[in-house]
Structure 1
Amino acid sequence: MKVLCGYNVNIDAVYRMTAEEITGLVDLVDKGEMVDSIFDPPGEIRSLPDLVAGLVLHMQQGTGGEWFIYSDDIFRFLKDRYYEKSEVRLGGNMGIMANVMSHMGAEQVVMNAVGDIGAIRPLMSGENLVFAGGSAPQDASTSKDSNEIIHFVFDFSSGTRFEILRKEVIVPRENRFIATYDDINTELTITPEFEEYSREHVSEMDGAIVSGFNQLQDEYSDGSGYGERFERAHSQLKDWKALNTDLPIHVELGHFMSMEMGVFIFNELAGTVDSIGMNEDELVMLSELHGVPLDMIRKMDACAILDACVRCASSTGLKKIILHTRDFMMSIFAEGASTPVHEMEGMQFGVMCAAAFATSGKLPGRSQLEDSVSDLARSEEGMIQAGKVQDLIHGDEFEDGVCGEYKGYSVCILPTIICEDPVSTVGLGDTVSSATFLRWLELHRFR
């Protein structure tokens, strides 16, 4: 398979946030400022109390989140305190997805190579990668002028206990909070080399997978908004479709700074691309489109999630949505967009890749994939939710999952394979989505 891949890649500094560490951070900040940020979350980091509030909020709820850093001082604090103690890994939706597909057997993966590829390239394990663009290695200073693209990923574990303002917090589930320092991907930068290469070779490509729209900002320092930057990328996708009408394009949505931006971009992309992938937090963000009670989605109720996905697709004309959660994966698709066999086999491959990655932080070779997850079990909660969907749609059991029909859409749901003590949760969504897309392309191409 030959695949185009845009747009965001960065370096992740992954650090396990323990009870002792979060308590130490709380002790460093002004409690009044921290409380203000907890009760009125800024959604961005301009001070140390903002950072601590973001960590506390997401650890309390067990939810994933990403806040951007708008302070060089906070970036220096984080780099000095955590970088040397962190696991430095490949980051960025596009970077992870490109690496997964190339590692798992794609013939060629063409990357929109932004930033210091000299530093990023050694973090990639896949072969057959084409780096279209990228800068020369830069002097590693602690200023945004150096174009450092470091995202501090704070993983936290279920059951972690700490005290804040005399109240005990018990983390309900493992997840991660990301503090992002990035002036390149926030611009949705597209290299001239990627533009030229993709235009010249798109007719030879089997598919395209893109992401990074969630890095856009509501407002930039020059007073402009995200519209112009989004439209440049959107125009590129439209050009690809015009030049290769058979090119399947998948978008990974990501968590946006505002619901308004997320809904706008989803609506715009739905008329151009073939499928959009997301997790439950991102589906919550689209409540304006589906109107399903958010508490039901946050509780991972698969029937509510199914209803919300179908409403999002039917209201926008989108052909397919892939929804991935900790416990199950779901595909809903319109007639002609796919088949249950292709969807289930693609998702099966995807959840195996994600489980293998969660277990070790690395991907095995394709021939070792099944053996690498043979000791792991399907999610019990995922099986319960698949059973509820089966009752709702009167679906048929299909291998380890369920397939059927709901409000004019085909539905497939598959329980995930669970690693109870993951090395890291970051990148699992990108891993499962890109592996699923790769396998789907193989089946689609040779059907």
Structure 2
Amino acid sequence: MALWRGSACAGFLALAVGCVFLLEPELPGSALRSLWSSLRLGPAPVPAGPLSPEGRLAAAWDALIVQPARRWRRVAVGVNACVDVVISGVKLLQALGLSPGSGRDHAVLHSRSDLEEAFVYFMGKGAAAERFFSDKETFHDIAQTASEFPGAQHYVGGNAALIGQRFAANEDLKVLLCGPIGPKLHELLDDNVFVPPESLQEVDEFHLILEYLAGEEWGPFKAPHANRFIFSHDLSNGAMNMLEVFVSSLEEFQPDLVVLSGLHMMEGQRKELQRKRLLEVVTSISDIPTGIPVHLELASMTNRELMSSIVHQQVFPAVTSLGLNEQELLFLSQSASGPHASLSSWDGIPDVGMVSDILFWILKEHGRSKGRSSDLTRIHFHTLVYHILATVDGHWANQLAAVAAGARVAGTQACATETIDATRVSLRAPQEFMTSHSESGSRIVLNPNKPVVEWHREGITFHFTPVLVCKDPIRTVGLGDAISAEGLFYSEVYSD
């Protein structure tokens, strides 16, 4: 009798849960699964109908993302660091008494008017950009207004600090960070980040991050995507003051991976200083023991001569890996006379075949080969809706997992979730694309169940995956740095 009562009770509860599902079809599946499992009635019923493409893609990623056979133990990161003050761009400019005029780009900002014009120019395109503000007093006035503005938030900033912070989330990794680190930034850093005493300074460097939402309007301008406009009057990072401290710290720290960033900050320096500093960068990298890979993270630039120098003055051959986005990739090609350099800008989503052509050209012209003494063997390209990892064959492993992990973190960090929430992201990558435009490439049809596509071209392997774009992003700053760090974390380099 007791057994019969137990079975009847279980049947009644199962019926009740079924009724809940029928009456409340919009109830989250996680809630139903939790209720079912709490009753210990066996596996939860799966709602009828196929999973969404976003859900299938996220599940496929989870199955593909595996740890490399040999993992990093100690990662050294330098040399740009600051405090990011994040604020609504439109609200700050309104508080400064500015009105939207005609959008216009400025390589260097000299006034509030320049700031307003550059901000609306990039807001109208939905594109990220970073500029140097030349007037110290005006910048400090704007920075004070921004810092005290209701809702302004202070975060770890600077590519190196953000990459170090992302690596530090892995407790089994030891992370060294060198950069101009003031008291506020030191307070914000993860406890797992070690800062050498020589990197500490009395005053923080501040960068202002003006964010805008997808669809946000100001005057005649409407943002097609959520993004941000960054500006600063940053002299410590601009002069790369911590480069020597960084390199001198490596001998004691003994990293098995080095990440370098901050070259773009030199745009505010005179040409002679830029050339001198680049030579010192190359010398410093050459002092790093052979066999330790060096990743260079690029960022938004406007000085073609500086970019050309970075490409040609032995910086590219001295590093092992690059990280960059669509603006930086096209600007690099324009500065160094690469493929598709006649394009003034991308028309919407960057064409996959054109991106692939430029990545191929970089590795063929400046990467490692039998006739060239270059260390460059890997490029991690990221844009809003897809990522590509391009590698010279025979030097890197686990890149399928690495590109998937980089794309996954873009969706989780933008939405501020621990895992991909398929209801909060959308699949916007092209459903079909060609792998090249300069030769007869293959036509690829996207399949969410197999989200990483691989192709080969003259000894170079490409791994492509879509990104699940957050519909209502919480924060866009630092996504590129998190993507590069996550991709590196899952990468494995072969010993020479």
Interval of TM-score (by shorter of Structure 1 and Structure 2):
0.7 to 0.9
2:389 aligns to what SS in structure 1?
strand
TM-score by length of 2: 0.75
Q: Distance in 1 between matches of 2:284 and 2:345?
A: 37
Q: Report the structure number with the largest CA radius of gyration.
A: 2
- Counterpart code for 1:184: S
1:184 aligns to what SS in structure 2?
helix
2:210 corresponds in structure 1 to 154
1:322 corresponds in structure 2 to 380
Structure 1 residues 67-100: Cα deviation after superposition (integer angstroms, max 9, x where no partner) = 1111133223312321123111000000000010
The Cα shift of 1:257 comes to: 3.4
Distance 1:191 1:275, change over 3 A: closer
1:255 aligns to what SS in structure 2?
coil
Q: Which runs of 5+ in 2 are unaligned?
A: 1-72, 368-375
2:287 aligns to what SS in structure 1?
helix
2:391 corresponds in structure 1 to 333
2:166 corresponds in structure 1 to 100
Aligned: 1:266 with 2:319: no
1:45 corresponds in structure 2 to 109
2:442 corresponds in structure 1 to 393
Work out whether residues 424 and 472 of structure 2, in 8 Å CA contact, stay in contact via their aligned partners in 1: no
The Cα shift of 1:336 comes to: 1.3
1:141 corresponds in structure 2 to none
Work out whether residues 78 and 243 of structure 2, in 8 Å CA contact, stay in contact via their aligned partners in 1: no
Q: Distance in 2 between matches of 1:328 and 1:78?
A: 35
Structure 1 residues 132-170: Cα deviation after superposition (integer angstroms, max 9, x where no partner) = 5223434xxxxxxxxx4111000111211222xxxx222
- Counterpart code for 1:430: D
The Cα shift of 1:65 comes to: 0.9
1:224 aligns to what SS in structure 2?
helix
Pairing 1:277-288 to 2, within 5 Å after superposition? 277-286=323-332, 287=334, 288=336
TM-score by length of 1: 0.82
2:176 corresponds in structure 1 to 110
1:271 aligns to what SS in structure 2?
helix
Aligned: 1:438 with 2:489: yes
Aligned: 1:169 with 2:214: no
- Counterpart code for 2:442: I
The Cα shift of 1:273 comes to: 1.1
Distance 1:378 1:311, change over 3 A: farther
Q: Distance in 2 between matches of 1:328 and 1:178?
A: 23
Distance 1:281 1:296, change over 3 A: closer
1:229 corresponds in structure 2 to 277
Pick from 258, 282, 296 the counterpart of residue 208 of structure 1.
258
The Cα shift of 1:105 comes to: 3.8
Work out whether residues 401 and 490 of structure 2, in 8 Å CA contact, stay in contact via their aligned partners in 1: yes
Distance 1:252 1:122, change over 3 A: same
Pick from 56, 72, 78 the counterpart of residue 142 of structure 2.
78
The Cα shift of 1:420 comes to: 1.2
1:381 corresponds in structure 2 to 428
- Counterpart code for 2:81: V
Q: Distance in 1 between matches of 2:168 and 2:428?
A: 32
Work out whether residues 214 and 254 of structure 1, in 8 Å CA contact, stay in contact via their aligned partners in 2: yes
The Cα shift of 1:24 comes to: 6.1
2:267 corresponds in structure 1 to 217
Q: Distance in 1 between matches of 2:481 and 2:347?
A: 20
1:60 corresponds in structure 2 to 124
- Counterpart code for 2:309: F
Aligned: 1:125 with 2:190: yes
Pick from 279, 290, 300 the counterpart of residue 338 of structure 2.
290
Structure 1 residues 238-262: Cα deviation after superposition (integer angstroms, max 9, x where no partner) = 111xx2x221111111122312211
- Counterpart code for 1:404: W
Pick from 229, 236, 239 the counterpart of residue 287 of structure 2.
239
The Cα shift of 1:407 comes to: 4.1
Q: Which runs of 5+ in 1 are unaligned?
A: 139-147
2:200 corresponds in structure 1 to 135
- Percent of residue pairs identical: 20
